[in-house]
Amino acid sequence: MGEIFQWGYNVVLFGIFIVICAFFARAMRKRTFRNAWTPLLPIVDGSYTMRQQDSTLRGTYRGRPVQATIRIYGKKNPDTLDSFTIEMTTEPTADSWMLAYGAKGLLEKQRWWIDAEDSVTRRLEGSGAVQRMQTWSGKPAITYDGPRGRIEYFEETRVPPPQQFIAQLELLADFVDAEVKRGDTR
């Protein structure tokens, strides 16, 4: 009888230990998300929500709705953030395109490339966007989904400092303004 009691006591202690570890892990994640978003909140006059593996900041920038998300995928260290995404919504337009850095093919060299119709590619190349992004430390992918009225900035990185966040938002807003200004809306 004493062995069963001891075994039950050990199981209860182990359960308490697991609950305490989970509590501390959640507290560390909350702190990580809070520290990441606090300097960016005033830029978009926003607020943020948290879930287990991600956190989302919502607000507006230059009059457009903005949503930024940070994700942590299975890392033991909650201070290591895996991806950072910014989405901005706009009026639907006809064109869709992608601007990214990397090798487009297996044997190709890493470079900036544009995936779009030829006329859109020429327009984006002439916009100076790639030149603006050359000096950035990260290599994001920017996807414009005109029919859905959405542009997305994605990068596998930590949350940027405020000045870089502003530069990212400015780039997205400039792209959106240029697409809407063309008047090719649906």
**pLDDT tens-place string over residues 105-160:** 778 888 778 888 877 777 777 777 777 777 777 778 899 998 999 999 998 887 88
Q: Which residue has the higher pLDDT, 161 or 121?
A: 161
Model-level pTM? 0.77
54-61 and 83-89: which strand pairing?
unpaired
Q: Which two tokens stand for residue 114?
A: 């544009």
Contact 110, 103 (CB under 8 A): yes
Q: Which residue has the higher pLDDT, 3 or 85?
A: 85
Residues 70, 156: Cα–Cα separation, whole Å: 10
- The CA-atom distances, in angstroms, between 27 and each of 70, 78, 118, 135 are 17, 10, 50, 36
Alpha helices, DSSP H only, in 2-146? 2-37, 41-44, 118-126, 129-134
Residues 87, 69: Cα–Cα separation, whole Å: 9
Q: List the single range of 57-61, 104-108, 159-163 with lowest mean pLDDT.
A: 104-108
Q: How confident is the model at residue 1 (pLDDT cuts 50, 70, 90)?
A: low
Q: Which residue has the higher pLDDT, 58 or 33?
A: 58
Quote the pLDDT of residue 54: 84
Q: Which residue has the higher pLDDT, 37 or 130?
A: 37
Residues 136, 149: Cα–Cα separation, whole Å: 26
Contact 159, 37 (CB under 8 A): yes
- Can you tell me the mean pLDDT for 39-50? 92
Residue 80 has pLDDT above 60, yes or no: no
Quote the pLDDT of residue 86: 94
Quote the pLDDT of residue 66: 96
Question: What is the number of other CB atoms lying within 10 angstroms of the CB of residue 150?
Answer: 18
Quote the pLDDT of residue 185: 46
Q: Which two tokens stand for residue 159?
A: 């949350």
Quote the pLDDT of residue 180: 75
Q: How confident is the model at residue 24 (pLDDT cuts 50, 70, 90)?
A: low
Q: How confident is the model at residue 74 (pLDDT cuts 50, 70, 90)?
A: low
